[in-house]
Chain A
Amino acid sequence: GAVVSQHPSWVICKSGTSVKIECRSLDFQATTMFWYRQFPKQSLMLMATSNEGSKATYEQGVEKDKFLINHASLTLSTLTVTSAHPEDSSFYICSATQSIGTEAFFGQGTRLTVV
């Protein structure tokens, strides 16, 4: 299957700082990328959908000013957690698809710990 690379795989940051997570599609052009948050032993919660060159569409309850998403190219999307707090600690996962209704491939996930 296609490869989606997510970086970093884990990060620890101090409360109040910002953290950027990158999601790259390595062997295909990702028209659409999705960002998810996953709590332990729970399902994936969609945070936002981003299309290349457009503003991201955020799910209800997700603060767009806190979780900044940029999808500047067909192979790269970034999620920046601004002014992180301990409650933002979670597993963040991206996925990418060439077009809606086709396979979506996931990154390895990023474990964020805010101390």
Chain B
Amino acid sequence: QQQVKQSPQSLIVQKGGISIINCAYENTAFDYFPWYQQFPGKGPALLIAIRPDVSEKKEGRFTISFNKSAKQFSLHIMDSQPGDSATYFCAASGNQFYFGTGTSLTVIP
């Protein structure tokens, strides 16, 4: 059973546009929701994370929106740049980390 569902699988955005990636989870015991960025051949790097006591967290161009009642959270990348092209994973954590299936983001100049 997929604990965390992520969409879309791939995303193409024009430079300067907004990239939006969505995730949904089932287990209400999850209490930590990070997003990771992964470049080819590298390990994932923590990008931004949120806990369920807040509805939004912003760090630079990256924003997490969290909807506890809907059990959904999303990553917004503002002013998307070609250097943001990577695979993004959402995750949810309780006793262990459960990862979404990943979104391949391509930002075209």
What residues make up the interface of A, taking CB atoms closer than 8 Å to B?
1, 4, 6, 34, 41-44, 46, 49, 91, 93, 95, 100-109, 111
Contact = CB atoms under 8 A, between A and B. Distances in A.
A95 B46 CA distance: 11
B49 A95 contact: no
Contact of A106 (B32, B45, B94, B102): B45
B97 A104 contact: yes
What interface size band does chain B fall in? 20 to 34
B34 A101 contact: no
B74 interface: no
Contacts of A46: 96-99
19 contacts: A6-B43, A41-B102, A43-B100, A43-B101, A44-B44, A46-B97, A91-B41, A93-B44, A95-B43, A95-B44, A100-B96, A101-B31, A101-B32, A101-B93, A103-B46, A104-B34, A105-B46, A106-B44, A106-B46
A65 B79 CA distance: 48
Given A108-B43, A109-B42, A111-B41, A43 B89 contact: yes
Contacts of A91: 41
A83 to B, nearest CB: 26
Contacts of A44: 44, 89, 99
Contacts of B89: 43-44
A43 B97 contact: no
A104 B46 CA distance: 8
B97 A95 contact: yes
B97 A34 contact: yes
B44, B98, B99 — which one has the most chain A CB atoms within 10 A of its CB? Answer: B44
B104 A41 contact: yes
Nearest to A93: B43
A108 B39 CA distance: 10
